[in-house]
């Protein structure tokens, strides 16, 4: 099969790539990488990180670079994700792609690790860090509440890659005490319900088999 | 003038945007924002962050979203920065754009703040954090050394937006003790010398008047 994904289906980064492929309705082969055994630190993964991605002779890593490639290369398949025919609309999506990567994920990914992953592993949560990350997340969600009062999705009127990139971490955080931060912001909450209800995400979760 | 940049020319994020405009040889108006007085926290900046960017009726924020828009919208002007005609080459540049934003900047930006900005302001450097960030930066530079042994620039044979995004923080870090981390890696060091010698960067520094 031309498209291959190497990764662990429990990692938010791999889920981001799988969700993008599902929205695009693209067939692919999934190659399971066992992070627990450090397999990703052995060749051929050592130099590429996981998730890794192949499309014919093209090899990519970094989940957000992979999804952007898919969105451009398969622009006309499945859900349109980047509005590539209108550079100004694409640029607005681009702003929220950066906000996700630089602001939301910076707080959300670490929070998910501290309050969801660590308890599962039996490791000790760093409560001071959790406090700090919650404050950071609150600031980001205040910006989102304002934005989502103006437009249904972050990038505009339609679901885009900017929304998609949030799904795995939002899904994790809603299983934790910080769910309240999302619930108490009505536009953020409506957006969460909307993006988590997408059939493509349900398809990814079925594959993950929690 | 159609293009306006709002920001502080001393901030790496504003410098990233100015460098991109210089590489593209695009005229623009610069609107100085005094970060020290908290002007960026007042309207009209409160909701948009600085640097902010206008191109006619389009308003953007987040430096990397701005440069990507410029690279796409002015693809045929000045230095080509994203290889937009070849999606696979563009995707490789995309990988290194993500590595910069997610790995290099995560270590480099905070280090620059701790060991360059704080001493200038008379604030106390957090030495434990510096140790940790130096270790992170070392890991990233090891990956870069391997990559730059294979290709002259991060994204391929030609200078691209992936290299450009590094310039302001590399420029700052080379004024500090971590310069050694760059110098002791020959391919990284050749790359630093190359990207800092670009006429467009010299033009930006002249405007900054350190």
pLDDT digits (tens, 9 = 90+) for A164-203: 999 999 999 999 999 999 999 999 999 999 999 999 999 9
Helices B127-150 & B87-99 angle (0-180, nearest 10) = 160
Considering only residues A48 and A2, tell me which one the structure prediction assigns the higher pLDDT: A2
Top pLDDT among A64 and B39 is at A64
The distance of Cα A174 from the centroid of its chain, to the nearest Å, equals 14
Q: How far apart, in whole angstroms, are the C-alpha atoms of residue B110 and residue B119? A: 13
> What are the phi and psi torsion angles at A198 (to 5°)?
-65, 135
Read off the pTM. 0.93
How far, in Å, CA of A98 to CA of B45, rounded? 18
**Is B60–A146 a contact, with Cβ atoms under 8 angstroms apart?**
no
The answer to whether the beta carbons of residues B81 and B160 sit under 8 Å apart is yes
CA distance A196 to A187: 14
Q: Hey, are the CB atoms on B91 and A102 less than 8 Å from each other?
A: no
B168 at A interface, C-beta within 8 A:
no
Give CA–CA dist B40/B6, Å, rounded.
9
B201-210 per-position pLDDT tens digit: 999 999 875 4
ipTM of the complex: 0.91
Question: Are B60 and A143 inside 8 Å of each other by CB?
Answer: no
Residue A5's SS3 state is strand
Q: Answer yes or no: are the C-beta atoms of A118 and A108 closer than 8 Å.
A: no
Q: Are B125 and B113 in contact (CB under 8 A)?
A: no
Judge: B65–A146 Cβ closer than 8 Å, yes or no.
Answer: no
Tell me whether B77 touches chain A (CB under 8 Å): no
The answer to whether residues B20 and B13 touch, using CB atoms and an 8 Å cutoff, is no
Span A59-66, mean pLDDT? 95
Instruction: Compute the distance between CA of residue B25 and CA of residue B83 in angstroms, rounded to an integer.
Output: 17
The 10s digit of each residue's pLDDT in B13-57 is: 999 999 999 999 999 999 988 766 665 555 544 445 779 999 999
Q: What does the alpha-carbon distance between residue A81 and residue A75 come to, in Å, rounded to a whole number? A: 7
What pLDDT, on a 0 to 100 scale, did the predictor assign at position B45?
45
What distance in Å separates the CA atoms of residue B14 and residue A207, rounded to the nearest whole number? 43
Give the C-alpha separation, B173 to B115, whole Å: 9
Each residue's pLDDT tens digit, A15-40? 999 999 999 999 999 998 876 666 55
């Amino acid at each position: 099969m031309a498209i291959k994904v190497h990764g662990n289906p429990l990692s938010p980064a791999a889920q981001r790539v799988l969700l993008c492929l599902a929205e695009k309705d693209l067939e692919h082969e999934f190659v399971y990488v066992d992070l627990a055994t450090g397999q990703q630190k052995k060749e051929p993964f050592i130099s590429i990180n996981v998730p890794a991605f192949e499309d014919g002779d093209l090899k990519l890593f970094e989940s957000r670079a992979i999804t952007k490639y898919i969105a451009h290369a398969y622009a006309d398949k499945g859900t349109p994700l980047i509005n590539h025919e209108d550079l100004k609309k694409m640029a607005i999506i681009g702003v929220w792609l950066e906000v996700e990567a630089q602001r939301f994920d910076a707080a959300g990914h670490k929070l998910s690790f501290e309050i969801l992953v660590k308890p599962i592993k039996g490791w000790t949560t760093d409560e001071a860090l959790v406090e700090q990350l919650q404050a950071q997340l609150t600031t980001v969600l205040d910006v989102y509440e304002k934005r989502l009062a103006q437009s249904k999705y972050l990038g505009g009127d339609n679901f885009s890659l900017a929304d998609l990139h949030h799904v795995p971490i939002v899904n994790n955080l809603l299983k934790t005490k910080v769910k309240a931060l999302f619930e108490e912001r009505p536009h953020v909450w409506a957006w969460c319900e909307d993006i988590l209800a997408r059939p493509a995400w349900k398809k990814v979760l079925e594959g993950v088999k929690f």
